A and B are shown apart, each in its own frame.
Chain A
Amino acid sequence: MGLSGFDHHDRAGSGALDAAAALRRQAPQRLRAALGSRPVAAVRSFVVVLGVWWGLSLWNANPIQLPAPPAVFAALANVASDGELLENAMISTGRLALSLVIAVAMAVPLGFWMGMSRRAHAYIDPVVEMLRPISGIAWIPLALFIFGVGDTLPVFIMTYVAFFPLLLNTIAGVRGVSRRLVQAAETMGVSRAAIVRRVIMPAALPSIVVGFRLAFAGAWAAIVAAELIGAPSGLGFAIEWYRQLLMTPKIFAYIMAIGFVGYVCDQLLQGLQRRLTPWTDRSRG
């Protein structure tokens, strides 16, 4: 899901740049360019979604199933102002960060090993390929037996989900390192260890960073399921809590918060990607 979405995003970004250039060039085109620019387009989309939502809620006329936008925004303001939204968001993002750190610590070294040793790959890959299609959510019931309700279960599930894209992208990155770059280092008398550190690691980095973004997207999607069942706190738990209280507007408020936090984190990761691997960014040059 992630990659094609990101590409589209980048293209939209360069479209905005073109629009900005047009803005400077000619006054009559200004209005059209401004209406087509990204923030304005985003606002228009939101207005349409909001309108459809409101219409549906009026037609449905059951606030437990679908509350009207004002009720949801009031609920959002309510949970935001008394601090519970922030608290739950901090708990969830904290779990997310911990899971990603554990997943990186396990998947990246393993990926380097499997990428550089055909033998290691031949032995480990079948296990990976067997586990990979199993959704992280499938492990929740079993994890409940083992870890019980608490912090460990969501962290375990998210680590599991984040592990595979990181591992596969690290392997692909290491295997995709241009032979020429390694050969060039060999003809400069660079030792094997230094080649790994100075050539293979930086050359594989762009692919690993992409893997990290995919890992984040997967883990963030899994956190709700994990907290829904297996945690006493967090954004997912809050949704389940308000479901039991039949407080649909607050459920919606938390759903929106999950989307918003995910969006902000992805923007931060995109910025990190541009800083870490500027040579892969084709729009600059």
Chain B
Amino acid sequence: MSAASAREATPKLRFTAVAKEFVAPRTGKRTLAVTDVGLSIEAGEFVCVVGPSGCGKSTIMNLVAGLDAPTSGTITMDGRPIAGPGADRGVMFQDYALYPWLTVSQNIGFGLENGTPGRGLSRAERDARVRHFVELVRLKGAEDKFPHQLSGGMCQRVALARLLANGPDVLLMDEPLGALDAQTRLILQVELLRIWGETAPRAERKTAIFITHDIEEAVFLADRVVVMGTGPGRIRAILPIDLPRPREEGTRADPRFAALTKQVWELIRDDAYQAIG
């Protein structure tokens, strides 16, 4: 067996019987956020996680990011258990988590400037990288603005650029396009796929976990859609999305796109109705 095939045998990320319980600090009340999560994600795979609110989507992301530890079960990356946060797993938070005292450029370059991703890079190389991602997310002209001067959509693009500038192996995105208007959202979906490496061979693609509540978005982006349910949060189904890549405007007209969307909705529907009471 060659080294290459041995590497293929180890998934990029593997969840084994993962459960996470939260204990309220004062009351001591226990809440089971997710339970019995088993999932393997291959390197270069784009996985979307959908589910109604309260199904533990964000919990899953925090566990992979290393910001939380599972109560039981294990999560491994390249075969090694995740011990804490690290720059190999970049996170784009739902609330962007931009630094209000830094400009757009400084926010995008924050990891390069202060964290491990910038190690070994000269100042000129860092600046060039920041400029590259500023252009990529179409923020040219806004480099020196502060987050409080930007619209929600622009903040989101800053957060996306910051994530990408750090060049993580694994992209963790928690509803990253949620605050955008419908048109910008469609444009950025296609762009996100391009940045992820849709047109590149699979070995050069990044591994992505993308959390969304938008079923069409999930089907459009993903190689596989993980459907989660509530009470407690658990995986209800995993659907392979066999739509051809690269995906573009025409993908949505594909009859299989409609069928898959319908299939995901049927899996979520009961939980979703319960969630709104």
Which residues on A are within 8 Å of B, measured CB to CB?
Answer: 178, 180-181, 183-190, 194, 198-199, 202-203, 205, 277-280, 285
Contacts and interface: CB of A to CB of B under 8 A. Distances in A.
Contacts of A184: 91, 93, 97
B99 A187 contact: no
Interface of B: 65-67, 84-87, 89-91, 93, 95, 97, 99-101, 110-111, 114-117, 146-149, 166
A189 B65 contact: no
B166 A188 contact: yes
A276 to B, nearest CB: 9
B114 A198 contact: yes
Contacts of B148: 279, 285
B167 to A, nearest CB: 11
A190 B112 CA distance: 9
A184 B86 CA distance: 10
Contact of B85 (A181, A187, A279, A285): A187
Contact of B147 (A185, A186, A190, A279): A279
B interface majority secondary structure: loop
A258 to B, nearest CB: 35
A188 B101 contact: no
Given A186-B67, A188-B115, A198-B114, 5 more contacts: A178-B97, A180-B93, A185-B114, A188-B110, A194-B115
Contacts of A188: 87, 90, 110-111, 114-117, 166
A185 B67 contact: no
A189 B166 CA distance: 10
A263 to B, nearest CB: 29
Given A180-B93, A183-B85, A190 B101 contact: no
Nearest to A181: B97
Contacts of A277: 101
A285 B91 contact: no
Contact of B111 (A178, A181, A190, A278): A190
A187 B99 CA distance: 14
B114 A190 contact: yes
A194 B65 CA distance: 19
A251 to B, nearest CB: 46
A187 B90 contact: yes
B171 to A, nearest CB: 11
The 7 closest A-B pairs by CB, nearest first: A189-B116, A189-B87, A188-B111, A184-B97, A188-B115, A189-B115, A186-B85
A190 B162 CA distance: 14
